[in-house]
Amino acid sequence: MCASIQDLWDYHIHSKRCGHAVGKLQEYVQQAIKIGLQEIGLSDHFPMFFLPKEANAEQFAMPRDQFAEYLEECRILQSKYSDKIQIKIASEVDYYPDPHVLSQLYSELKKYESKLDYLIGSIHIIKIDDEIPFPVDSPDIMEKFQKFGEETIFSEYYKNLIKMVKTGVFQIVGHCDLPKKYGTYFGRSDEIWDLKMKFLDEVKRTGEMAVEINHSGLYRPVKEQYPHDEMIKACIEREIPLVFGSDAHRSSYVGYQFEETLKKCINFANSLQKPLTMAKFSQKVMKREYFN
């Protein structure tokens, strides 16, 4: 099969509502139509009020009282462009494994349950020992790598991802090797590999979750997508459905490098003699599509 951009969808999109992206949601939708995507999932950051205050994360998402308005804006776009593109309504939600944090998150999510097609579960913040919780995707992470070591940071990250998968709350795992962002520490030891595989086994066990191939790493210092090729192959080997995401924070990045990645994934799947399975979601229900 000769697949192209018209066969694809971008499930990871932000907008200026989050405070660190450029452009209204409509611009992202128009860009998706322009490049020919068949579907787009709007997935701006879920308000981060529930995260530990010391992590200072609240500034990276829209205020809590604007989420309903965001959903309404998505819904209006969905009907306005229904003859040109399928629009899914979603959110990227931070996971942080603290019971108090999670109970606040879950009760907030409950209010919007029926309005969301899927949730991307992502880890941006971790905590080690008595340290103040810190982001794994800010330049300060380099200092933390020096202080705690690569093994400690990556193993904390994957242990948390495994817990996240087990909650059953999320449909897609976002950018699942994010701490490598600055291109110096990759977490590629045998011990971390084992944790990565344990994580993928958990995803597989759910039978209803997908792993995102997040393209934003391609224009970060690391210069590759999240996760790295060997993990993508491990997903295909397990027949874990994949989802492409640009993680666009400006509209020109919608669908960024998707055709190249698709070609690569089809090659991986063919050489593993497995299907390339991709996922779509409506109302939290997964539909699989096959590409080879």
Q: Which residues bind Zn ion (CB under 5 A)?
A: 14, 122
Nearest distance, CB of residue 273 and Zn ion, angstroms: 33
Closer to Zn ion by CB, 233 or 249: give it: 249
Measure the CA–CA gap between 127 and 149, rounded to whole angstroms.
14
CB-wise, 14 or 180, nearer to Zn ion?
14
Structure tokens at 140: 């300060």
Chain CA centroid to CA 61, Å: 15
Residue closer to Zn ion, measured from CB, 31 or 122: 122
We find the least distance from the C-beta atom of residue 230 to Zn ion, in angstroms, to be 21
Looking at the DSSP assignment, which residues form a beta bridge with residue 93?
A: 121
Residue nearest to Zn ion (CB): 122
Residue 23 CB, nearest distance to Zn ion (Å)? Answer: 13
CB of 93 to Zn ion, least distance (A): 10
User: What does the alpha-carbon distance between residue 137 and residue 128 come to, in Å, rounded to a whole number?
Assistant: 15
How many of the other CB atoms lie within 10 Å of CB of 145? 19
Cβ distance 203 to 165 under 8 Å?
yes
- State in angstroms the smallest separation of the CB of 92 from Zn ion: 5
Distance in Å, CB of 129 to Zn ion, minimum: 24
Which lies closer to Zn ion via its Cβ, residue 156 or residue 269?
156
When the beta carbons of 122 and 155 are compared against Zn ion, the nearer one is 122
Q: Quote the DSSP letter at residue 45.
A: B
CA distance between the termini of the chain: 6
Q: Which residue has the tokens 């530990």?
A: 52
Name the residue type at position 248. A
Q: Least distance from C-beta 290 to Zn ion, angstroms?
A: 27
* Pair 29, 37: CB distance under 8 Å: no
Strand ranges inside the chain, DSSP E: 9-10, 39-42, 86-94, 118-122, 125-126, 134-135, 172-173, 210-214, 242-245, 277-282, 285-290
Distance in Å, CB of 270 to Zn ion, minimum = 30
| Beta pairing, strands 86-94 & 39-42 | parallel
For Zn ion, the closer CB: 14 or 196: 14
Q: Which is nearer to Zn ion, 22 or 142 (CB)?
A: 22
**CB-nearer residue toward Zn ion: 14 or 181:** 14
Distance, CA of 27 to CA of 114 (rounded, Å): 25
3-state secondary structure (DSSP) of residue 288: strand
